Amino acid sequence: MGEHHTVASFDEDLGAISKLISDMGELAGSMVGGATKALLNSDNALAQRVVSDDAIMDARQRELDDRAITLIAKRQPMANDLRAVVGSIRMAGDLERIGDLAKNIAKRVGTVGLSVTPRDLSHSIDVMAQLVLVQVQGVIEEYAAADAAALAKLRNDDERIDVKYTSVFRELLTYMMEDPRNITACTHLLFCAKNLERIGDHVTNIAENAYYVLTGSQLPANRPKQDETAMSAPAA
């Protein structure tokens, strides 16, 4: 009876940690979507909500860390169970960073303004943001569904975000060169696009950790990065 109770308690503790990962993933998606919408629509109220949500994200990460550390200390999990707990700590760290990056985009909203963003550039950033949002939402859903193959594919799909970022980077440089009055706004938009690209990288980390938790194997480390902006920038 005692052993059965211990197993049940461990499963409940692990379930609570998994629920926190799910909640953090849902909040991360909401923050990324909200920050992008606020940026493209110059919606300062929505931007402020995203900034406020970051405190909730931070609190959830702290709660997950506390639960995970307590679980390790009390239950001394082995093998698969330990992998799940440590993997959750790592995934929560990446989700918290996604929240930070979404908050940073939201904080730029008032500075960018509505009138300075050309329609085709807004569309490019929106397309990039939608790619990122699909990744953020997908990685949590696929981890919850224990779909290792889908996680491996999602990790490789980050390449599309890198390619789109390179395209947006080049468009922004063009606008800045065409009219110096665009430089300030485009610099802020460049920062936002870079943050979206970095969110994609954190999703990749989550996919890799989730895959490891589910399978006990590491994905190959040599996924090529397609961010070519270092080569795109004019030589000094």
Q: What is the mean pLDDT of residues 83-95?
A: 97
* Cα atoms found within 13 Å of the Cα of residue 195, Cβ hemisphere only: 23
Q: What is the number of helices (H) and of strands (E) in the chain?
A: 8, 0
Angle at CA 192, nearest 5°, toward 187 and 196?
145
Instruction: Give the model's pLDDT for residue 116.
Output: 56
In order of start, what are the domains of the chain with their CATH numbers?
Answer: 8-232 (1.20.58.220)
- CB neighbourhood size of 4 (10 A): 8
Let me know: does 125 contact 186? Beta carbons within 8 Å.
Answer: no
pLDDT of res. 117: 63
Range of weakest confidence among 63-67, 125-129, 180-184, 221-225: 221-225
Q: What is the predicted pLDDT for the residue at 236?
A: 38
Higher pLDDT, 179 or 28: 28
Q: Is the pLDDT of residue 96 over 70?
A: yes
Q: Given a cut of 50, is residue 235 above it in pLDDT?
A: no
What is the Cα–Cα distance from 110 to 45, expressed in whole angstroms?
Answer: 10
Three-class SS of 109-156:
HHHHCCCCCCHHHHHHHHHHHHHHHHHHHHHHHHHHCCCHHHHHHHHH
Q: Is the pLDDT of residue 25 over 60?
A: yes
Among candidates 99, 85, 95, which has minimal Cα distance to 16? 85
Burial of 51 (0-12, 13-18, 19+ CB in 10 A): buried
Task: Give the helix/strand (H/E) hosting 206.
Answer: helix 183-215
Half-sphere exposure of 109 (CA within 13 A, CB side): 23
List, as one string, the DSSP characters of 76-99.
---HHHHHHHHHHHHHHHHHHHHH
- pTM of the prediction? 0.90
What tens digit of pLDDT does each residue of 159-212 get?
Answer: 999 999 999 999 999 999 998 888 888 898 999 999 999 999 999 999 999 999
Residue 104 pLDDT: 97
pLDDT of residue 229: 63
